Chains A and B, each alone.
Chain A
Amino acid sequence: MSEPILQIRGVTRRYLSHIPSSWRRRVVNAVDGVDLNVNEGETLAIVGESGSGKSTLARLMLRLEQPSDGVVLYRGVPLTDLNRKQWRAYRRDIQAIFQDPSSSLNPRMRVEQSLAHVARRHELAEPAQLRAFLAHHLASVGLDPPEQYLPRYPHQLSGGQQQRIAIARAMMLEPRVIVADEPLSSLDISIQAQVLDLMRELTSRRSIGFVLISHDLNAVQSIADRIAVMQRGRIVEIGRDIFDAPAHPYTQLLLQARLSTNPREVRTHLANLSGVQASSQTSEPPGFQV
Chain B
Amino acid sequence: MSAASVDGDPLLSVRNFKVHLRVGGAVVRAVDGVDLSVDQGESIGIVGESGSGKSTLARAVLKLLPNVELADCQGEVNFRGLDLARISDPALRDLRRHHGFSMIFQDPLGYLNPTKRVGTQVAEAIGGKSAASIGERVQQLLAEAGLPSPLQLARRFPHELSGGMRQRVMIAIALASEPALLFADEPTTALDATVQLQVLETLRRLHRDRKMAMAIISHDLGVVAELCDRVYVMRDGKVLESGDTVEVFENPKHPYAAQLIELSTRHRRHAAAVGSKAAP
Contact = CB atoms under 8 A, between A and B. Distances in A.
A–B direct touch in complex (beta carbons closer than 8 A): yes
Contact of B159 (A20, A217, A256): A20
Given A20-B160, A222-B267, A280-B2, A267 B277 contact: no
Chain A: interface size category: 35 or more
Contacts of B74: none
B9 to A, nearest CB: 12
Contact of A188 (B163, B197, B219, B246): B219
Contact of B194 (A257, A270, A284): A257
Interface residues of B, number: 52
A50 B196 CA distance: 12
A215 B244 CA distance: 30
B87 interface: no
B245 interface: yes
A218 B266 contact: yes
A10 to B, nearest CB: 27
B159 A243 contact: no
Nearest to A50: B192
Contacts of B197: 256-257, 259
A262 B272 CA distance: 11
A21 interface: yes
A190 B2 contact: no
B274 A284 contact: no
Interface stretch (B57-65, B142-150, B178-186, B221-229): B221-229
Given A254-B193, A258-B193, A263 B270 contact: no
B113 interface: no
A284 B212 CA distance: 21
Interface string A259-274: 1111110110110000
A221 interface: yes
Interface of A: 20-21, 49-50, 159, 188-190, 192-193, 215, 217-218, 221-222, 243-244, 246, 252-264, 266-267, 269-270, 280, 284-288, 290
B266 A286 contact: no
Nearest to B193: A257
28 contacts: A49-B193, A188-B50, A190-B49, A190-B263, A215-B192, A215-B193, A217-B267, A218-B266, A218-B270, A222-B267, A244-B270, A244-B274, A254-B194, A256-B197, A260-B222, A260-B277, A261-B261, A261-B265, A261-B268, A262-B225, A262-B249, A263-B245, A263-B246, A263-B249, A266-B226, A270-B204, A287-B3, A290-B242
A258 B270 CA distance: 12
Nearest to B245: A263
B16 interface: no
Contacts of B273: 244
B72 interface: no
B220 interface: yes
A266 B2 contact: no
A259 B220 contact: yes
Given A190-B260, A261-B268, A266-B225, A287 B243 contact: no
A259 B218 CA distance: 13
Contacts of A50: 163, 192
B271 interface: yes
A259 B3 contact: no
Contact of A49 (B194, B260, B277): B194
Given A189-B260, A288-B230, A269 B278 contact: yes
Nearest to B51: A188
Contacts of A259: 196-197, 200, 220, 222-223, 225-226
Nearest to A274: B208
Interface string B234-277: 00000000111111011000000001110111111011011101
